[in-house]
Structure 1
Amino acid sequence: MKTLEKHSFPKLENEYLENILRQLVNKHNIIQMFFTKQTSSLFSHLIIHIDNNSDAEQLQQHKWLKKVRNRYQIDVIFIYSGRLHHRFSLGHPFMECYCQSSALIYHNPAAVNPLIITRDWKQYKKKFHAFEERFYNDHDLHKVQVHNLISEGATNSVFTSYARWIKYDLEYLEELYLVNTFNSLPLEERIYNLITYIPEIQKYFVRSSPDKYVLIDLFSKAKEASINDDEPIHKDEMYEAVGIAEQRLYCLIEERFSELKKMLKKAHIVEHEVSCQMDNKPKKQTLDIAVETILNLVEVEQIYLYHQITDAEKTTYYLMLIGNGGTNEKLRLITHFLKSKIAHNHEVVMISHSRKWIQENLYQFQSFFSDIIQADDLIYSSSPYHPEFHWELPHNPYHADLYFYYKPTKDIALQFFTIANNPKENYQGLEYLFSLFFLSFCRTYIFVKTYYLPNNLTSEALWQLCIYAESDIRKYNYLLEQFWTDCFPFLNKHRVLNHKLSKLSKEEVYQMNGIVEKLMYELHNLVIEDGLLQDFEED
């Protein structure tokens, strides 16, 4: 029976991983192992230099690697000898950083081709700059190609070229963080995999679904249109957004080059602290209570205090919630709870949308959202890595579909006047028309003033948004205050109709009219002619 050689790896300080490495050494032709311990950055690195390529590929798929990475923050990378030496010959900074002799924790004395690094920074820097320069040269070629296509107006080709450019950037990030590339994987997966090593990358791509991204979807549509000779995708306003995302990736690559360079020059790991703390500015008690209440009821990514009004009577806080599940009903529930928790002279007005919904509706509402979503106004964030929006540039705000908001509002007002001013004082249903008019007016007024069409929020919230949109509208507060009952609850109670343009034709109204006539005739005979209401005064 073969006796397994006992190896120890005290530098790891991890018995679980040590046991795995002992098995690997006795089962595979391991040439070297290099371990670099990180004290503040995301992961320590364990580089395993192995003789056989197929073994390296197979071992890299083992489940224990993910466990070690997630539980112990140690990233294990298998690299076969031919690839490692080739990368080293190119001056790859990853090899130079993490395969130093000081990081060696195991070497196979029988191996014929170990990696031995003896050069210092002065001897290596030409190689480093040459490696770096290759990236910049090819990057510039992609840039020139895209800009030429933009000037030619070749929309589909612009996006497919941008896709290749983004792919190129991702390849370099994979090389510099993992020394492995994953060109066979879709771009979505490559971005997702890099989040583990570069959490900040999440900020640059808005998701269209849990495993998809808005910009990558756009690339796919452009590619499909090009293949099928379809109409070009007219999304010129997204050029800038894609360009910004690419520039952010470029900056990540530059930062990684700089980090590796510092590590090599100083011969030790530069500590990189990732802070997830929010601004330490003191917050008002009302906002603390509001945020706590919101988080208990809604899955929120970020909360912005985008406006605040203080007058002699009260202070009103305007909050923008970005997250899922912030329905009108949830906002009403939060508002209800807050009324019993905060001072009577404080009020919180909320709007809420998902990040996906905002991104998809920027073509209509960007003017509003770009004004209120400001870093200085952020009062809560569940993560420092939420993606930034892909703003459309240029964006020319316009009142799309204003006719379909103004026309029904005016028609409702005329209908209200007809009933309110009828000489027979038949006011049946008038309260519902009044409530519908108030809803329609507020939404249309806010849309005209801000280029934003709110959901069917409570009447009070809509009125406060009108005041945000134009403070002069407060001159009508006295009418609401003089109302014979609490105006806003009255409006909410009778809101059963929708703010939209009626599509009924004269023939359809005629048919409804016929039904009303016939049924009222039957009811009249049943109640009046049969004497059930003998004192009823008919018109």
Structure 2
Amino acid sequence: MMMEKSAHSNFAGLHDEVLINRLKQAARDGCLLAVYRVPHGIPGSERLLLITETEAAADALRTAKWVLKTADHSPVSISSLHRAERFFEVGNPFAYCYYRPSFLVWCQERFAGLFSNYAGGKAFKKKFSSFKESYYDDRDMLLSEAGRFYNLNSPISTYLTYITIFEHDLRYLEKLYAGDFYPDESLHTRITILIPYIPELQKLFVRQNGTNYYLINKLQAAIEVAHNDETYINTALYESIKIVERQLYNRVAARYIELKSAVRKEPGPTAVISPAREEQLDDPQLIIVRDILIKIAAPEEVFLFHKAETFQINAHVPATVYYLFVIGQRIGNTSIQSIQQAVAARTQNNVSVVILAHRRITVQENLCFPSAVYTADHVACQQDFFLIGHAS
């Protein structure tokens, strides 16, 4: 017992002396109740979790310069005691996964048994099921409303409902990734807060400037336009909104599975849950195309949306044609021609590629966000150029 008390009073496991001194000062100020250090892969990247006595103290810590500086290197989640306890009570798997005794590196002595009365097992499963279904039920209801307004040619109601759906998705992403939620902040701010936890959001929401995101601005501007024409709905915008919302939904669903699995495994202090293994590409010709694309164009993402075989070159040997949607910078006609020539030379004219290339900002500015292409099953390579899937 004495060893546990010592470990929880000297920030064991932390090695940054500047950070330790900042935490000690926050503890002396009385606003900090507990500090958790979650190792890499439980699940996600290493992070600090700070528990404060009041919501006001949590708000003050979130804007402290030393917290913001620490967050530049690894996520820092800050929550009040009341909100953390509430997450346990409603079955939010974030609380059960991250607020574990084995991750506790410091706490005030009067809170030595913090959260010890909350356990997993059947009680957690029942609460978790209710927490999860509340997201799905509310989303289904909102989508039904949006569809009804769309069929009634009511653009204002359609757009406003989708803003509510975005808020609903972001609220659950905040609860599941950040261990908190920020209903008083704008959609722009909430997306920015989530990006350190979910970097993929940068692909869905392109910045229009330092603080705003293009798609959100486009949606809000469409509401203003609709006041002058109460029957016109921008179909391209509507389809883009639906695609992005579906990606947010997929992220919530995946996070539920990820956290539930982590809670069930209940690793010890040094155990690490390996992230899900990404699917390897098994098409040798597409691997050749991938490598040439990386070398010549350095794309951000490549989507394979069609594959065909022809016999135009040799009546006995089929030639494969890959149709690719490429997102990246400065991929013009010259680069595309170089890629096509290199692919033909490397494969002895047995493979050719048809490439449609855009910058990411252009995709959203012109709403050319093809739903048939931009799905997880069609992603050919991402920023680290690791092949994770292809169209069947």
TM, length-normalised to structure 2: 0.73
Read off the aligned partner of 1:246 and give its amino acid letter: E
The match for 1:106 is 106
Which stretch shows the higher mean deviation, 353-362 or 253-262? 353-362
Q: CA deviation at 1:219?
A: 1.9
1:216 maps to amino acid: I
Q: Counterpart in 2 of 1:58?
A: 60
Give the match for residue 332 of structure 2.
Answer: 327
Structure 1 170/292 Cα, relative in aligned 2: closer, same or farther at 3 Å?
Answer: closer
**Cα distance in 2 for residues equivalent to 1:96 and 1:36:** 12
- Whether the 8 Å contact between 2:87 and 2:95 is mirrored in structure 1 is yes
Is the Cα contact below 8 Å between 1:301 and 1:381 reproduced in 2?
Answer: yes
Deviation at 1:233? 3.9
Paired residues for 1:107-506 under 5 Å = 107-110=107-110, 114-202=114-202, 205=204, 207=206, 209=208, 215-226=215-226, 228-236=227-235, 238-268=237-267, 271-273=273-275, 279-283=281-285, 287=289, 290-291=292-293, 293-295=295-297, 301-302=301-302, 311-312=313-314, 320=324, 321-328=326-333, 331=336, 334=338, 351-354=355-358, 355-358=360-363, 380-383=381-384
2:78–2:179 contact (8 Å) kept in structure 1: no
Q: Once the 2 structures are TM-superposed, how far is the Cα of residue 361 of structure 1 from its aligned partner?
A: 5.6
CA 214–381 in structure 1, closer or farther in 2 if over 3 Å, else same: same
Going from structure 1 to structure 2, the CA distance change for 1:282 and 1:16 (only over 3 Å counts) comes to: farther
Distance 1:139 1:102, change over 3 A: same
Structure 1 position 22 matched with structure 2 position 24: yes
Distance (Å, rounded) in 2 between the aligned partners of 1:237 and 1:120 = 46
What corresponds to 1:402 in structure 2? Answer: none
Rounded to whole Å, the distance in 1 between the matches of 2:286 and 2:47 is 44
* Shift in alpha-carbon separation, 1:307–1:193, aligned structure 2, 3 A: farther
Q: Contact (CA 8 Å) 1:41, 1:274: kept in 2 or not?
A: no
- State percent identity of aligned pairs: 25
User: Any conservation in 1 of the 2:43–2:259 contact (CA below 8 Å)?
Assistant: no
Q: Deviations over 1:36-81 (max 9, x none)?
A: 323363223432222243332121223443544453x4x3222233
Cα 1:133–1:113 shift into 2, 3 Å? same
Q: Indicate conservation of the 8 Å contact 2:9/2:107, yes or no.
A: no
The aligned amino acid for 2:172 is Y
Conserved? CA contact 2:299–2:383, under 8 Å: no
- Whether the aligned pair in 2 keeps the contact of 1:50 and 1:80 (CA below 8 Å) is yes
Amino acid at match of 1:27: D
CA 1:234 to 1:208, structure 2 compared with 1: closer, same or farther past 3 Å? farther
Change (3 A) 1:383 1:131: same
Q: Deviations over 1:238-269 (max 9, x none)?
A: 54543343333233223323333333333238
Distance in 2 between the 1:242 and 1:292 partners? 30
Separation in 1 of the partners of 2:100 and 2:263?
A: 10
Provide closer, same or farther for how the CA distance between residues 221 and 336 of structure 1 changes in structure 2, counting only shifts above 3 A.
closer
Judge conservation of contact 2:37–2:48 (CA < 8 Å) in 1: yes
Question: What letter is aligned with 1:173?
Answer: L
Q: 2: distance between equivalents of 1:289 and 1:246? A: 32
Structure 1 pair 301–24 and aligned structure 2 pair: CA distance change class (3 A) = same
Deviation, structure 1 residue 178: 1.1
Change (3 A) 1:257 1:270: farther
Is the 1:207–1:214 contact (alpha carbons within 8 Å) kept by the matching residues of 2?
yes
Q: Which residue of 2 is the match for residue 79 of structure 1?
A: 79
1:276–1:294 distance in 2 versus 1, CA, 3 Å:
farther
Alpha-carbon contact 2:153-2:232 (below 8 Å) kept: no
How far apart are 1:161 and its partner, in Å?
0.6
Asked if structure 2 preserves the Cα contact closer than 8 Å seen for 1:225 and 1:232, the reply is: no
What secondary structure is seen at the aligned counterpart in 2 of 1:10?
Answer: coil
Q: What is residue 11 of structure 1 aligned with on the other side?
A: 13
Letter in structure 2 aligned against 1:273: P
Contact 2:146 2:158 in 1 (8 A): yes
Contact 1:92/1:131 (8 A) holds in 2: yes
Post-superposition offset of 1:124: 3.5
* Structure-2 separation of matches of 1:376 and 1:93: 27
- CA–CA separation in structure 2 for the residues paired with 1:154 and 1:325: 40
Q: Who is 1:406 aligned against? A: none
For residues 485-517 of structure 1, give each alpha carbon's deviation from its aligned partner in whole angstroms, at most 9, with x where no partner exists. xxxxxxxxxxxxxxxxxxxxxxxxxxxxxxxxx
Q: Distance in 2 between matches of 1:133 and 1:293?
A: 46
Q: TM-score under structure 1 normalisation?
A: 0.55
Deviations 1:210-234 (A, max 9, x none): 66656424421232134x4445443
> Which one has a bigger Cα radius of gyration?
1
Q: How many residues align?
A: 370
Task: Quote the Cα distance in structure 2 between the aligned partners of 1:303 and 1:88.
Answer: 40
Q: CA-to-partner distance for each residue in 1:100-128, whole Å, 9 max, x for gaps?
A: 33333222124699544343422333333
Q: Distance in 2 between matches of 1:206 and 1:362?
A: 12
Task: Give the SS at the match of 1:353.
Answer: strand
Cα 1:338–1:48 change in 2 (3 A) is closer
The CA RMSD measured in Å over matched residues stands at 4.4
Distance 2:287 2:175 in 1: 48
- The structure carrying a bigger helix percent of its residues is 1
Aligned partners of 1:284, 1:115: CA distance in 2, in Å? 51
How many angstroms apart in 2 are the aligned matches of 1:373 and 1:342?
28
- Give the deviation of 1:329 after TM superposition: 5.0
Distance 2:341 2:112 in 1: 73
Decide whether the 8 Å contact of 2:169 with 2:248 is kept in 1.
Answer: yes
CA distance in 2, matches of 1:141, 1:385: 38
Give the partner amino acid of 1:180. D
What is the distance in 2 between the residues matched to 1:86 and 1:316?
56
